Amino acid sequence: MLIEPSLKQAKESSDSPISNSIRISILL
């Protein structure tokens, strides 16, 4: 469930792709 909202935030905050990658890495 945490992956879905994180992906949505990643799409919305395309300015910081690095942060999104880190969040996804932590979830994985």
Q: Is the dihedral of CA 10, 16, 17, 20 positive or negative?
A: negative
20 vs 1: CA distance, rounded Å:
16
- pLDDT for 18 equals 75
Burial class (CB in 10 A: 0-12, 13-18, 19+), 23: middle
Give the pLDDT confidence score for residue 21 in this predicted structure: 79
Residue 3's pLDDT is what? 62
pTM for the model: 0.32
pLDDT per residue over 1-28, tens digit each?
Answer: 566 776 677 666 555 667 777 777 776 6
